[in-house]
Amino acid sequence: MSSESVTQELPARPAATEIVNDFSIQVATVNGSGSQTANLVLIRSLFQMGIPVSGKNLFPSNIAGLPTWYTIRANRHGYIGRKKEIDLLVAMNPETAREDALALDAGAAVVYDEPLKLNEVRSDLVFYPVPFDELVKPICPDAKLRRLVRNMIYDGVLSKLLGIEMAEMEKALTRQLGKKAKAVALNQAALAAGYAYAEQHLPKRDGLRVERMDKTRGKILIEANAAVAIGAMMAGVTVVTWYPITPSSTVCETLIDYMKKYRVDKASGKATFAIVQAEDELASIGMALGAGWAGARSMTATSGPGISLMSEFTGLAYYTEVPAVIVNVQRLGPSTGLPTRTAQGDILSTAVLSHGDTKHIMLIPSSAEECYELTMQAFDLAERFQTPVFVMTDLDLGMNTWMADSFRYPDKPFDRGKRLDAETLKTLGDWGRYLDVDGDGIAWRTVPGDGLPAYFNRGSGHNARGQYSERADDYTANVDRLAKKFETARQWVPAEVADDQPGADVAILAYGTTHWAAEEARDQLKSEAGLTTSYMRLRAYPFTEAVERFIDRYTRVYVVEQNRDAQMLSLLKLDLTPGQVGKLRSVVYYSGLPIDARTISDEILAQEREAK
Amino acid sequence: MTTPTPAAAPAAGKKVNRINLELATYRGGKTTLCAGCGHNAISERIVEAYFEMGVAPERVIKLSGIGCSSKSPAYFLGGSHGFNSVHGRMPAVATGAALANRHLMPIGVSGDGDTGAIGAGQFVHLMRRNIPLIYIVENNGCYGLTKGQLSPTADLGSKLKNGVVNDLPPMDLCALAIQLGATFVARSFSGDKKQLSALLKAAIAHKGTVLLDVISPCVTFNDHEGSTKSYAYVKDHDEALGEITFVPFFEDISVDYEEGSSTEVKMHDGSRVFLKKLDAKYNPQDKLAAITLLHETAARGEFATGLLYIEPDRPSFIDLLNVVDTPLSMLSEAQTRPGPEALEEIMERLR
């Protein structure tokens, strides 16, 4: 992507400038008004036309009645991060319409509910008033359904205004509503009504247009929580324990659906898994650890508040060396914070979760593909290192709609790590639960029911044989071995992905969903300011040695992340020399919206000016 | 809960059980609890019960939370895996392990603080689920390991050694468990060898969750005058609910009691429990009767001990989950990783 140039958009563009496949649409509705179907039909029909898209839902922590915004970005270059500017607003919510319209850049287009009279708010926008209530009446005699069908009318209007093929909209609609023939017919009528109205009453006065492309062939549209679920299923998870929390609930809910379909033994009709909704996160992590200790591949999924509750048990698992996969779909803020907004705010606290000296492996996917792959890998690493492994996603990744390549079937068998068997026991001769016989910090373990020697798993002080000990030398030897094990993990975690540009003096380090905005920002920096940047995307903690070498190659390295306190930068400092630390600069964003490219490029340019 | 009998003949001169193991095999490490602690007596009864029931130690897992009671799994069944977890959270760990391997026989040991205070939430939900687990509360009304503070089972008006009087009502863990749907609820006293042994063996035969609340005096911090959990007080106020006899499924013993003098409960595995000299009106399968009895005895300042409530045939949580017979922990990659066609089908729906 960095090699492609970006069409520069002027802040106030003349109405006639044609912009093809490069804009964002924001639909402002009321939570619970059934706009989701209309929005999914809209994004899916663009996708079916081969145009790269992304969909982001900005919603309140509420079930019905509060404002919600859905943003669809179509971009021919394949940029799927959030775009800062809105090019077309669909204003359906009387509560926010005025504010939404005032926030637009001059020249933007607005489709709005006619009674809202947005044309009186300002004069520098392109207005398309639509009398939704009048249009919905004749097509939907049942007054109770009108509220739901009404939204489909704006899809019809946009089909005409933007040139989205009606056949694709109808296909997307059928796909969305499935076999509900009556609902499909009603909504089709709404689509047609919107289209007809636009054709007769709304002459085109903006420059936004779509054109069929071929950039989505073989790709999928998915919310990455589902990708995590598919990864867990393909990794052979057998015990899943969870407690509902936004934004992670759909990880386990989706997993339940898939497991019921694909993980029931055909001969006996019985499940090859147990999924339990626990009474709280203290219990969900406890159950996952009980199962992991007993030899099952186990997992739980949660978000910040749940992670805080899991802290004590995580320390136990670290110290007694019990595997489990913990998915942390990060959300914004300390305490309850903003539960439906995104952040990368648990990086630092999760890395060292629990009291005493602890360090945990974290895998950090950027995409739906990686949510799938790294979740699978997390199960291997949890067993290999006999420790909790965290998969750090976020609300943006987990709950928004992402375009992704179809997932590849795994080509590696499970890695069950050092699980002792009778043969190995014979070879070893002597076995102790925490004896480091291989020099990599990882000991051999037995599990209940395997018929091999038993041990007592205890969170209190223990020696290499798992016996109770309060001896200073036993304690230090044990935690030093745990540190060694963590060092070994550097060679096993997914490596960083680097893009070194010849002649670059400046580099960007990012991770997770920040990647998408960072990539786009690099293109902006190059095309607009002539600043060539190198790039490294982190994918795990601990870092591999490549991070230090990368930093050594550049004068300034911008660590870009979505939290207030530069958390990843703080973690990097633990590994770096003072000279390397001196090169680090920080770009942070923490409003709860997904970070956008413009924020990054503006901030880097400002800091570059200061540096020179 | 059947255990295969090994073919080897018993070693001459040693008393062995039905799977040819000696009592010593069921022992654990040396106790570090105070001399005379009720918990040690309970550990002894546990050793005997598993020996007499002929359970293979490798099938048992021992779990606990934190506290004096929670140390005790190290002192029995040395050949079994153990998990000493965090304070009040043994139920979750036991649940996870039971889910991972349905053929394991978990026994958890907790205390009154570990259960009624910090662990109240997990205790409540464990009782609702009916996980196959023997949950023993070694109940002494105080926190021993932190030197004698009051616990939530301390009786109203009970006095600590330092003179502090408890002015809050106690939690009755048995009444709570019955109300929550537990399927085997019993109370005993660490000093009542016969009753505790019978109850433990019946517990091993039960297929769901067993709550066994054992009054177990703390000789160091709560055995003085003014305490309602002292040896002297418990002996004086123990109101045994009939005489209990347990007959395991593998013993063909006919028990003849005079008509009307004994209540028989048939357990899921075919074992039988006989309750003799029981009040004729008391039915251990009647929840309301059990709760009434607990309230009435508590009002008199007495402890009703014995098998309070039993529901032998309720499906366990694992039955409800309809899980395969092979332990989940032992399933192979071929059994747990769907094939490429499954992934392709999922992908196709997302395209």
pLDDT digits (tens, 9 = 90+) for A397-416: 999 999 999 999 999 999 99
Model confidence over B199-211: pLDDT tens digits?
999 999 999 999 9
Residues in chain B with CB shorter than 8 Å from the CB of A218 are 351
Residues in chain B with CB shorter than 8 Å from the CB of A234 are 337-338, 343
Task: Name which of B96, B103, B331 is nearest A449 (Cβ-Cβ).
Answer: B103
Asked if residue B74 lies in contact with residue A455, where contact means CB atoms within 8 angstroms, the answer is: no
Exposure string (b/e) for A384-419, b if CB count within 10 Å is 16 or more?
Answer: bbbbbbbbbbbbbbbbbbbbbebbeebeeebeebbb
**d(C-alpha B92, C-alpha A413), whole Å:** 30
Task: Give the model's pLDDT for residue B280.
Answer: 65
CA atoms within 13 A on the CB side of A360: 38
Query: A337 by DSSP, 3-state: which?
Result: coil
Contact B122 A286 (CB under 8 A): yes
Q: What is the mean pLDDT of chain A?
A: 95
Q: Which two tokens stand for residue A46?
A: 């663009």
Nearest CA in chain B to A433: B81
Across the range B31-60, mean pLDDT stands at: 97
Q: Which two tokens stand for residue B73?
A: 């799994």
As its CATH architecture, domain A222-405 has 3-Layer(aba) Sandwich (3.40)
Residue A186 has pLDDT above 90, yes or no: yes
The domains spanning A222-405 and A497-611 adopt the same CATH topology: yes
Task: Give the model's pLDDT for residue B1.
Answer: 38
CA distance B87 to chain A (A): 10
Asked if residue B133 lies in contact with residue B106, where contact means CB atoms within 8 angstroms, the answer is: yes
Model confidence over A546-561: pLDDT tens digits?
999 999 999 999 999 9
Contact B351 A220 (CB under 8 A): yes
Chains A & B: contacts with CB separation below 8 Å: 214
**d(C-alpha B336, C-alpha A299), whole Å:** 15
**d(C-alpha A343, C-alpha A328), whole Å:** 11
- Integer angstrom CA distances of residue A343 from A93, A325, B12: 26, 21, 70
Nearest CA in chain A to B84: A458
Residue B11 has pLDDT above 70, yes or no: no
By the CB < 8 Å criterion, does B6 face chain A?
no
Other beta carbons within 10 angstroms of residue A575's beta carbon come to 16
CA distance A577 to chain B (A): 38
Contact B343 A279 (CB under 8 A): no
Residue B163 has pLDDT above 90, yes or no: no
Task: Name which of B99, B121, B340 is nearest A409 (Cβ-Cβ).
Answer: B340
Specify the amino acid at residue A337.
Answer: G
**d(C-alpha B271, C-alpha B246), whole Å:** 8
Residue B16 has pLDDT above 80, yes or no: yes
E strand or H helix at A401? strand A401-405
Task: Give the model's pLDDT for residue B277.
Answer: 67
Task: Determine whether A549 is exposed, middle or buried from the number of CB atoms within 10 Å of its CB (0-12, 13-18, 19+).
Answer: exposed
Contact A457 B82 (CB under 8 A): yes
* Topology classification of domain B23-350: Rossmann fold (3.40.50)
What is the distance of C-alpha B52 from the center of its chain? 17
Task: Name which of B81, B86, B124 is nearest A316 (Cβ-Cβ).
Answer: B86
Give domain limits for chain A.
19-209, 222-405, 422-489, 497-611
Across the range A142-152, mean pLDDT stands at: 90
Nearest CA in chain B to A285: B92
CA atoms within 13 A on the CB side of A96: 19
CA distance A35 to chain B (A): 20
Residues in chain A, total: 612
Residues in chain A with CB shorter than 8 Å from the CB of B347 are 220, 406-407
Least confident of A299-303, A439-443, B302-306: B302-306
Asked if residue A559 lies in contact with residue A588, where contact means CB atoms within 8 angstroms, the answer is: no
Task: Name which of A294, A407, A460 is nearest B84 (Cβ-Cβ).
Answer: A460
By the CB < 8 Å criterion, does B337 face chain A?
yes
By the CB < 8 Å criterion, does B288 face chain A?
no
* Residue A475 CB contacts under 8 Å (≥ 6 apart), including other chains: A461, A469
Residue A273 has pLDDT above 70, yes or no: yes
Q: Which two tokens stand for residue A584?
A: 């680090």
Residues in chain A with CB shorter than 8 Å from the CB of B57 are 454
Q: What is the mean pLDDT of chain B?
A: 92
CA distance B164 to chain A (A): 31
- Region A497-611: CATH code: 3.40.50.920
Indicate the pLDDT class of residue B3, thresholds 50, 70 and 90.
very low
Asked if residue B115 lies in contact with residue B88, where contact means CB atoms within 8 angstroms, the answer is: yes
Q: CA-based diameter of chain B, in Å?
A: 76
Task: Give the model's pLDDT for residue A395.
Answer: 98
Give domain limits for chain B.
23-350
DSSP code of residue A160: I
Model confidence over A304-343: pLDDT tens digits?
999 999 999 999 999 999 999 999 999 999 999 999 999 9
Model confidence over A492-537: pLDDT tens digits?
999 999 999 999 999 999 999 999 999 999 999 999 999 999 999 9
Side by side, which strands form the sheet with A109-113?
A: A126-130, A109-113, A88-91, A22-30, A67-75, A53-58, A401-405, A219-223
* Residue B74 β-bridge partners: none
State the residue for tokens 């001969």.
A267
Exposure string (b/e) for B259-297, b if CB count within 10 Å is 16 or more?
Answer: eeebbebebbeebbbbbeebeeebbbeebebbbebbeeb
Give the DSSP per-residue string, B207-242: SSEEEEEEE---TTTS-STT-SSSHHHHHHHEEE-S
Model confidence over B280-300: pLDDT tens digits?
678 899 999 999 999 999 999
Task: Give the model's pLDDT for residue B160.
Answer: 86
Other beta carbons within 10 angstroms of residue A352's beta carbon come to 17
Nearest CA in chain A to B62: A456
Q: Which is it for strands A533-538 and A497-499: parallel, antiparallel or unpaired? A: antiparallel
* Residue in A44, A49, A237, A287 to test binding to B, most B beta-carbons within 10 Å: A287
Residue A7 has pLDDT above 50, yes or no: no
Residue B35 has pLDDT above 90, yes or no: yes
CA distance B22 to chain A (A): 18
* Residue A72 β-bridge partners: A25, A55
Other beta carbons within 10 angstroms of residue A441's beta carbon come to 17
Contact B74 A263 (CB under 8 A): no
**d(C-alpha A147, C-alpha A30), whole Å:** 11
DSSP code of residue B185: E
Residue B140 has pLDDT above 70, yes or no: yes
**d(C-alpha B337, C-alpha A539), whole Å:** 25
CA distance B5 to chain A (A): 16
Residue A14 has pLDDT above 90, yes or no: no
Contact B324 A456 (CB under 8 A): no
Residues in chain A with CB shorter than 8 Å from the CB of B132 are none
Residues in chain A with CB shorter than 8 Å from the CB of B124 are 279
Residues in chain B, total: 351
Task: Name which of B61, B80, B343 is nearest A234 (Cβ-Cβ).
Answer: B343
Task: Determine whether A7 is exposed, middle or buried from the number of CB atoms within 10 Å of its CB (0-12, 13-18, 19+).
Answer: exposed
Residue B259 has pLDDT above 90, yes or no: no
A19-209 falls under which CATH superfamily? Pyruvate-ferredoxin oxidoreductase, PFOR, domain III (3.40.920.10)
**d(C-alpha B92, C-alpha B104), whole Å:** 15
State the residue for tokens 């093809």.
A20
Task: Name which of B101, B325, B337 is nearest A294 (Cβ-Cβ).
Answer: B101
What is the distance of C-alpha B223 from the center of its chain? 24
Asked if residue A93 lies in contact with residue A139, where contact means CB atoms within 8 angstroms, the answer is: no
**d(C-alpha A280, C-alpha B318), whole Å:** 20
Q: Which two tokens stand for residue B305?
A: 């001990």
DSSP code of residue A607: H
Task: Name which of A262, A413, A451 is nearest B338 (Cβ-Cβ).
Answer: A262
Q: Which two tokens stand for residue B130?
A: 């009916």
Contact B324 A468 (CB under 8 A): no
Residues in chain A with CB shorter than 8 Å from the CB of B99 are 239, 274, 276, 287, 290-291, 296
Task: Name which of B101, B125, B321 is nearest A295 (Cβ-Cβ).
Answer: B101
Task: Give the model's pLDDT for residue A293.
Answer: 98
Asked if residue A357 lies in contact with residue A316, where contact means CB atoms within 8 angstroms, the answer is: no
Task: Name which of A241, A263, A280 is nearest B121 (Cβ-Cβ).
Answer: A280
Give the DSSP per-residue string, A167-226: HHHHHHHHHHHTT-HHHHHHHHHHHHHHHHHHHHH----S-EE----SS-TTEEEEEHHH
Contact A236 B84 (CB under 8 A): no
Residues 306-325 of B with CB under 8 A from A: 318, 321-325
Model confidence over A451-495: pLDDT tens digits?
999 999 999 999 999 999 999 999 999 999 999 999 999 999 999
